[in-house]
A and B are shown apart, each in its own frame.
Chain A
């Protein structure tokens, strides 16, 4: 590739070859330095040897003028080049002013985000209260489609993860507990862990990763495409039409997923204990002796609350997405992170509540 060349003599910088974007890359900084070092006296930039002079070349000549600071004569340009340089000089922008740092900007941004979230939850409460009057906004087909995608299609993943988690928990706890002759109590440990904690918690994490992010991406895309604005201008609340069915579907499918996770986890645990030589009847007796319907129901109730939080956060992330393709990605990320954090916080809250209520 032919590139531009530069010759420097006192008071003169001679440029030759293609003064184009592809031709001037290597000499740009040298040329600007040469112009700067030429001092404040008159400088002549000779472009009579230029084979091409386009806007990038003209930008270089203006950079030489700026770098030199004094009078610069651009000589040797043809009529087209002279006109181009004149036009570029006319439109040359002033340097953009640096953005002044705003004191407390991050704190204000946090407050703004908190306000948006609060407004959204307020709008959701209003949508719920107004639901009887706005039943027409709900579409059964949407509800069924969302429930199928969030529930039925998540079943294989839930079964696989449940089985593996049950196996891992049983194996990891059986080895140390065997030292104390307590390895049969692994059944108690795993069953209680699954029913009370791991079942709903893991399903909520799966829901946040699969469904919460999907809600955010779907609604975020609708926001970017102005479909949400179209709904609003038609007088249809997006909260009622889009968020409530998603929340309802997530809450509806959650107990089924939690039960599936519990059963799959128990099967994984039983498989490990049977390999360790315990009969199924002994394992079954340990499970029924250590955990009752209250543990099981506790997990289901927690699961439903987690599902509501995950769905709500996913929908909020989508509906409050910004503009442009990046916004959809940010909304999906926010949905997953927010969903998992909210789940863990709610789980902590449940732990305290259940302890206080002595359940």
Chain B
């Protein structure tokens, strides 16, 4: 297993406001790596930097050896992204949402595109919802459909922003299991941004914790080890649901 994602000394400032600085970690191939932290610590900002929607104020991010700033086209060919809202195209049914990248980036004939898209929907348990519009499905289904769309071109790296936010515990557990199954089935590398503790403990091989007060990384490691043996008060409070 080699390093797929490398984040080196990355920082982000908006005007005079520093969101975080000197964030450094790497993600190994086939790993489920979770970026966690309290609200406002910069988790989603870091994800936006990793997918090229935001240029870091400092530092460098590479994915599979490609610099995210300089070589964004190469990066976008190997990543799939699920946005927090799902960001499904409201005017298209789920099947069309998934066939869209297939029709743009592959030579697959129309029947094959539909066949492949139906398989992706089946993989996330939405085989029967293919012809529904995003407005006609539940939040959990929308998240799964968004994962299926991120999987459309079978990217080796998947980045998921808050996949379980706003969902009930049973649906959350189902999504966590889906992520584990997809990693095992597809061998893909996952970066998951979340602050849902049960999800973190269920899926993360390793995690990095950001903190707004520290303006950067306060913990890096396996979640259960951090929960049981971290000496940082914020980390202990986060994992043990304590007040500071």
Tell me the A residues contacting B by CB distance below 8 Å: 3, 20-22, 24-26, 28-29, 54-56, 58-60, 62-63, 80, 83-84, 87-88, 91-93, 96, 322-326
Contacts and interface: CB of A to CB of B under 8 A. Distances in A.
Tell me the interface secondary structure of chain B in the complex: helix
Given A20-B154, A21-B102, A22-B153, A91 B127 contact: yes
B218 to A, nearest CB: 36
A59 B119 contact: yes
Interface string B126-145: 01101101111000000000
A203 B203 CA distance: 63
Tell me the interface secondary structure of chain A in the complex: helix
A96 B119 contact: no
B108 A87 contact: no
A91 B112 contact: no
B116 interface: yes
B123 A22 contact: no
A93 B127 contact: yes
A84 B109 contact: no
B154 A54 contact: yes
B20 to A, nearest CB: 32
Contacts, number: 93
A60 B134 CA distance: 27
B107 interface: yes
B151 interface: yes
Nearest to B127: A93
A21 B91 contact: no
A63 B115 CA distance: 8
Given A22-B106, A28-B112, A60-B112, A84 B186 contact: yes
Contacts of B111: 29
Contact of A91 (B122, B135, B153, B187): B122
A238 B112 CA distance: 48
30 contacts: A20-B153, A21-B102, A21-B108, A21-B152, A25-B106, A25-B108, A28-B109, A29-B111, A29-B112, A54-B186, A55-B120, A55-B123, A56-B154, A58-B119, A59-B112, A59-B116, A62-B119, A84-B185, A87-B181, A87-B185, A88-B123, A91-B119, A92-B119, A92-B122, A93-B122, A323-B133, A323-B136, A324-B91, A324-B133, A324-B135
Contacts of B134: 324
B121 to A, nearest CB: 7
A48 to B, nearest CB: 19
A126 to B, nearest CB: 29
B118 interface: yes
Given A25-B108, A323-B135, 18 more contacts: A20-B153, A21-B152, A25-B109, A25-B112, A55-B186, A56-B108, A56-B154, A58-B119, A59-B112, A59-B116, A60-B112, A63-B112, A87-B181, A91-B125, A91-B127, A92-B119, A92-B122, A93-B121
B105 interface: yes
A228 B110 CA distance: 40
A20 B107 CA distance: 11
Interface of B: 90-91, 102, 105-109, 111-112, 115-116, 118-123, 125, 127-128, 130-131, 133-136, 151-154, 181, 184-187
A97 to B, nearest CB: 11
B91 A29 contact: no
Contacts of A25: 106-109, 112
B120 to A, nearest CB: 6
> Which 6 A-B residue pairs are closest in the complex by CB-CB distance?
A25-B107, A323-B135, A93-B127, A54-B154, A324-B90, A91-B122
Given A21-B105, A25-B106, A96 B130 contact: yes
Nearest to A56: B116
A55 B130 contact: no
A88 B91 contact: no
Contact of A88 (B90, B119, B135, B181): B119
A96 B135 contact: no
A59 to B, nearest CB: 4
A41 B178 CA distance: 37
A273 B223 CA distance: 87
Contact of B108 (A28, A83, A323): A28
B152 to A, nearest CB: 7
Contacts of A93: 118-119, 121-122, 127-128, 130
Contacts of B131: 96
Nearest to A63: B115
A3 B107 CA distance: 10
Contact of A29 (B109, B127, B130): B109
A93 B125 CA distance: 10
Which of B102, B127, B185 is packed against the most chain A CB atoms within 10 Å? B185
Contacts of B108: 21, 24-25, 28, 56
B151 A55 contact: yes
A272 B241 CA distance: 82
Nearest to B126: A93
Contacts of A54: 154, 186
Contacts of B152: 21
